[in-house]
């Protein structure tokens, strides 16, 4: 029996922890050679690379990428991929922010927009061109957030950055489609990661979230499985799509008001009938 075609090389930003580490594992299991992007914690990324190499027998190369400087990030990634043109890019790295809308710090604004939007867009553009030049029919997956479409108080910078990446995903998908390159995004809701204060990611099913219809946050492997699906040939007819992975949270937008309005109607009815609560 012939060996299946090698899936090629994937670059994952933010691969040292959380969703990025889980995505790296999911792609390693599929046989990808990995370029593991990280910003800090060289020891941590070294352990990730060694673990994935041992478990799946794939090459794992750590790459320090400063996403605060999009031009530098592009140069670093293209240089790392020069001898192994990418077949997959996962723009996963991001920073959270809950700055009050009346007190936006300019330095923080530049950092959030650079890391969450400008650098990923620049990388997608540059990697897309590299794929086109190499004749690669590849896949780009951007990790956005439920907050690319759903606002949250304190999220001016974060929501704006994720919305920008979400729209860029659609535009690049439209432009790259004629070259056989697909561009999609995954939009997680609350996910059990250290960035969200969960330091034991395996406990996600034990964490109660009553306002999420499925009653809990998501696990990193659940997000990673969708990333791997969008990277691979099984999703060959999907492009320009944002896959919401939120346990049903976005479905609840009108629920609180409906409960309040229903309680108010019942109260008014009781009063009209001469009764008090």
Q: Which residues are catalytic?
A: 158
Partners of 188 in the beta sheet?
245
The set of long-range contacts for 198-205, using a CB threshold of 8 Å and a minimum separation of 24, is: 201/18
Rg (CA), the chain: 21
Question: CB atoms < 10 A from the CB of 215, how many?
Answer: 13
Asked whether the beta carbons of 269 and 263 are under 8 A apart, the reply is no
Contacts of 95 (CB under 8 A, 6+ apart): 111, 112, 115, 116
Three-class secondary structure of residue 191 per DSSP: strand
CB count within 10 Å of CB 190 equals 20
Q: Which of 222, 224, 242, 231 is CA-nearest to residue 162?
A: 242
């Amino acid at each position: 029996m012939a060996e299946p075609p090698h899936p090629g090389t994937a670059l994952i930003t933010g691969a040292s922890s959380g969703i990025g580490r889980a995505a790296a594992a999911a792609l390693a299991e599929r046989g990808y050679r990995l370029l593991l992007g990280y910003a800090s914690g060289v020891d941590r990324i070294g352990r990730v690379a060694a673990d994935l190499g041992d478990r799946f027998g794939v090459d794992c190369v750590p790459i320090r990428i400063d996403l605060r400087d999009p031009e530098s990030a592009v140069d670093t990634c293209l240089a790392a991929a020069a001898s192994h043109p990418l077949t997959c890019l996962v723009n996963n790295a991001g920073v959270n922010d809950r700055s009050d809308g009346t007190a936006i710090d300019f330095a923080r604004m530049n950092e959030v927009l650079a890391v969450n939007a400008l650098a990923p867009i620049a990388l997608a553009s540059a990697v897309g061109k590299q794929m086109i030049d190499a004749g690669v029919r590849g896949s780009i997956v951007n990790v956005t957030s439920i907050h690319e479409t759903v606002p949250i108080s304190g999220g001016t910078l974060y929501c704006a950055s994720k919305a920008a990446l979400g729209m860029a995903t659609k535009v690049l998908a439209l432009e790259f489609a004629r070259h056989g390159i697909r561009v999609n995004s995954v939009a997680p809701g609350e996910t059990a990661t250290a960035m969200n204060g969960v330091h034991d990611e395996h406990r996600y099913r034990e964490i109660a979230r009553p306002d999420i219809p499925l009653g809990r946050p998501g696990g990193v492997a659940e997000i990673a499985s969708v990333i791997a699906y969008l990277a691979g040939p099984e999703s060959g007819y999907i492009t320009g799509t944002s896959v919401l992975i939120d346990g049903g949270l976005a479905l609840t937008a009108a629920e609180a008001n409906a409960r309040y309005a229903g309680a108010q109607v019942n109260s008014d009815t009781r009063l009209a009938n001469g009764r008090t609560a």
